[in-house]
Amino acid sequence: MTFELVHVNVGRMVAPADDPQMKEFIDNLGPVFALAEAAPGFVWRQTDDDPGFEWDAGDSAGVLVNISVWASLEELETFTYSGEHREYVRRRREWFQHMTMAAYALWWVPAGHRPTTAEAEERVRHLREHGPTPYAFTFQQNFPPGAHTPGPVPSEHVAPASPLA
């Protein structure tokens, strides 16, 4: 079986999208997405207007969720931490609140699977609750494709959602 890598990145903005503080970031979303789409190993990204994660209760500037699929961990890591995208990662504190819990998660899926926002939220929650496992992991502690991927812990055993910051 062939696998692809899903990456979800979550960020709580420091100001509403139409605030001048967010202008540079918002204005460059299209060009940054174009860089990703042209990068070696890029497979797919979510482009529809998804409602976002449940935990964004509307009392914040907003939570941005970015979901993409890549051919390999190495290609995603190269895109994320090199070239023009690296500069945006370095400057993320200008546009996003510091998060004390996992702000992203990675996991393997069968080739062709396109994850939903609900699936991505579940993976981030699992990573926050259990740390890196084959079900949801990080760049620093990752697992090979096809590693045993147990399902999530039943909800009655998981703590209620925590705020992002």
20 inside domain? yes
Provide the CATH number for the domain around residue 43: 3.30.70.100
Looking at the domain assignment, is residue 162 inside a domain? Answer: no
- Domain annotation covers residue 164: no
Per DSSP, the residues of 34-97 read HHHHHSTTEEEE--S-----TT--SSSS-EEEEEEEES-HHHHHHHHTSHHHHHHHHTGGGTB-
- pLDDT at position 17 over 60: yes
- Is residue 165, in this structure, part of any structural domain at all? no
Q: Which domain holds residue 20?
A: 3-157
With contact defined as beta carbons under 8 Å apart, do 3 and 109 qualify?
A: yes
52 has a pLDDT exceeding 60 = no
Give the per-residue pLDDT at 112.
Answer: 97
Chain segment 87-101, per-residue pLDDT in tens: 888 899 899 999 889
Per the prediction, the chain carries an average pLDDT of: 85
Helix H or strand E segment including 120: helix 117-130
Q: What is the pTM of this model?
A: 0.83
Residue 157 reports pLDDT greater than 60: no
